[in-house]
Amino acid sequence: MRIFISIGDISAANYIYEIFKEGPGNLELVGITDERLESVGIESVGRISDLSVVGIAEVIPRLPKIRKIYRMALGELKRCDVLIACDAPGFNLRLIKDARRIGVRRVIYFISPQVWAWKPGRAKTIAELCDHVVVILPFEVDIYRKFKGVKVHYVGHPLVDLVRPGVSEEEFRRRLDLRGKIVNLMPGSRWGEIKRHAPLLKEVVKKLEGFEFVLPTFPEFEAYLKEQLGSLPIRVITERSLPLPAYSSMFYSELSVIASGTSSLEAALALNPHIVFYKVSPITYILGRFLVKVPFVSLPNLVLRRGVVPEFINEKPDRIARKVHELLLSPEEREEQREAFKRLREKLGGEGVVDKLRKLFSELIS
C-alpha cells in the first residue's frame, strides 16, 4: 500500500514522525517532509519549510515554489491508495479535491484546520471530501459530528506525551552556564516569523534587567539569530546544544515569551507561565481583525475558554516588556497560570495519546 502524507508545518511533522518512527513496515510512504521524516523512510517530493508560511502578504513570493511542490504531489498521488492531509488547508483542500478526482480511495484529514476561528465553511467541505477526520482538540469533535458520511476521531493531543525536558535542570544550567532566573524566548518556527520577531524580542530584552535569557530555535535559524541578537545576553540554543532545547527551556524558566502557535500549548503542558505575542504585516492584521471569529489567539486560552495567557498582537515592545516584568514580579499570577494549565492537561486526554494515534492510524489505513 502506498500512502501520501501532505504536511505543511513543523508541529504536524513532529506528530507524524512519532506515529511512524518505528518505520513504514510494509507500507510505502511518500510526501512533503523534513530530514526527520526522511530518516524514518518517508520519500520526499518537497520540503515543509517551503510551505510553512503565515499571512496573505507573506505567501505571495513563495507561490512559484508552492505550485511546483503541488504538481509533484499530484503526480505521486496517482500511484497512491491513501492520502493523509495534515492541517495546511490552503494547500491540502485543493489537493484532497484532486485526489478524489483521480481516484485515491481513502482520504484522512489529521489535525483539522482552525475552522472554529475562521472560514467555518471548510468543515463542511472536509466532511464531504474525507473518509475520516482525526482531531487533536476536544471541542473540534462536535464540529464534525453533525456531518453525515465522515467519521471523526479524538484520542487526545499528542503533545501531552511529547512535552518532556531533554536533560535535568542541573545539566541544563551547567551546560549553558546559567546561574540566575531564566526567561525563555520563542520567536517562532518559520523564517517569516523569525525575521519579524527577532527585532521585537531584542527591544523587549533591552527593557528587562536582572534575568538570563535563553532562545531555543532550529539549526537553520541559529546563525541569523545570533547575528541579530549577539549584542545582548541571550543564549541561542538548538538541538546541537542539548536534547529537546525548547522543552527543557520551558520546564526550567520562570517565564516564556512566545510567538503565538503550538509553542504556547507546549509551554502550558510544561506548566510554564508565559505571555503570547505575534507580529504580522499591516494588511494581514487588518484582514485578520475582520475574518477571525474567536476571542483568543493562543490555544490554552481557547481550550480553557478564558484569558489565562496574556496576548499581545502587533503590540509595541514596551507594552510586552511591562507585562513580562509584571509577571516576573508576581509569583501569585504565575501560579494561577500553572493551576489553569493542570486543568488543560486533563482536557487534552491524559497519557498515552501517541500510542492511541499509532493504533488508530493502523486501523484507518488497513
Q: Are residues 116 and 174 in the same domain?
A: no
Look up the domain containing 264 and give its range. Answer: 169-347
The reported pTM is 0.85
Give the pLDDT confidence score for residue 65 in this predicted structure.
84
| Same domain as 326, residue 197 | yes
**How far apart are alpha carbons 177 and 165 in whole angstroms?**
18
- What grid cell was written down for 224? 541569523
Look at the alpha carbons of 42, 39, 67, 218 in this order and tell me if their dihedral is positive or negative. Answer: positive
Same domain, 211 and 334: yes
Give domain status of residue 322, yes or no: yes
Residues 112 and 80 both lie in one domain: yes
Same domain? For 191 and 286 the reply is yes
**Would you say residue 184 lies in a domain?**
yes
184 lies in the same domain as 328: yes
pLDDT digits (tens, 9 = 90+) for 60-96: 666 788 899 999 999 999 999 999 999 889 899 999 9
What CATH number is associated with residue 291? 3.40.50.2000
CA distances, 265 to each of 269, 331, 341 (Å):
6, 21, 9
Q: Is residue 164 part of a domain?
A: no
Decide if 303 is inside a domain: yes
Give me the average pLDDT of each 10-residue run along the chain (366 residues): 92 92 86 92 88 60 82 94 93 95 96 81 94 95 92 96 96 96 94 93 94 95 94 94 96 97 95 94 62 76 94 94 95 97 91 94 92
Cell numbers at residue 209, please?
534587567
Q: Is 94 part of any domain? A: yes
State how many domains the chain has: 2
Q: What are phi and psi of 195, to 5 degrees?
A: -70, -30
Whether residues 97 and 135 fall in one domain: yes
* Residue 163 within a domain: no
* Contacts by 230-239, CB closer than 8 A, 24 or more apart: 232/202, 232/205, 232/206, 233/205, 234/185, 234/205, 235/176, 235/178, 237/176
For residues 210 and 309, membership in a common domain is answered with yes
Answer yes or no: do 134 and 174 share one domain: no
Q: Which of 107, 158, 65 is closest to 356 using CA atoms?
A: 158
CA distances from 22 to 17, 262, 289, 333 (A): 9, 24, 43, 42
Residues 186 and 306 grouped into a single domain: yes
Residues 343 and 355 in one domain: no
Q: pLDDT digits over 20-52, tens only?
A: 998 777 889 999 999 999 999 999 998 887 776
Q: DSSP strand E in 61-137: where?
A: 82-86, 106-110, 132-134
162, part of any domain: no
Q: Are residues 361 and 336 in the same domain?
A: no
In whole angstroms, give the CA distance from residue 190 to residue 160.
23
Does residue 199 belong to any structural domain of this protein?
A: yes
Instruction: Please state the length of the chain.
Output: 366
C-alpha cell at 252: 526550567
Q: Tell me what pLDDT residue 63 has.
A: 78
**What pLDDT shows up at residue 115?**
84
**Do 149 and 127 form a contact (C-beta atoms < 8 A)?**
yes
3-class state of residue 102 by DSSP: helix
Q: Residue 37: which residues within 8 A CB-CB, separation 6 or more?
A: 5, 7, 13, 16, 17, 20, 31, 44
